[in-house]
Amino acid sequence: MKSHALILGCALATLAGCAGKMENPTDFYTYRDQPLVKQVEDGMTEKQVLAIGGPPSSSMRRRVNAGICNNYVLNQDGHQQVYHVSFDGSGRVEEKGFMTCEQREQVEREKARESSGGY
């Protein structure tokens, strides 16, 4: 069941990645009462996040910035939505939102390129 949910979440994330805007405000409204969305705040430790959201669907080491990133699949009224929580090198929440860790890495790479004049 978890792998099925992750596959569906990745498919949705891929479709979202094709759109011009990565995050949709409707997602926040729809999933705002989910514990990960409602309770996780910047600066929390990974242990605190795991206590709130349980184990992630997947996890990856961040390439652009030091740290790790956890992917989750939120469920609400039969619908699923991907959500990530990124931790900095000291293990504290730095970013979170309605995209996968892979999408977050892509955004960070693009920002780094823009700030270094790589375009």
CATH number for 53: 3.30.1450.10
Residue found under tokens 């430790």: 45
For the chain, the domain total comes to 1
Q: Which whole-number Å values give the CA distances from 68 to 7, 62, 64, 83, 95, in the listed order?
A: 21, 5, 10, 14, 11
Q: Could you tell me the residue range of the domain that residue 27 belongs to?
A: 2-115
Question: What is the pTM assigned to this prediction?
Answer: 0.75
Residue 119 has pLDDT above 80, yes or no: no
Q: Which whole-number Å values give the CA distances from 54 to 57, 70, 116, in the listed order?
A: 9, 11, 38
Q: Could you read off the pLDDT of 59-113 as tens digits, one per residue?
A: 999 987 889 999 999 999 999 999 999 999 999 999 999 999 999 999 988 988 8
Q: Which comes out higher in pLDDT, residue 81 or 20?
A: 81
From CA 47, how far away is CA 110, in angstroms rounded? 30
Tokens representing 93 are 């929440």
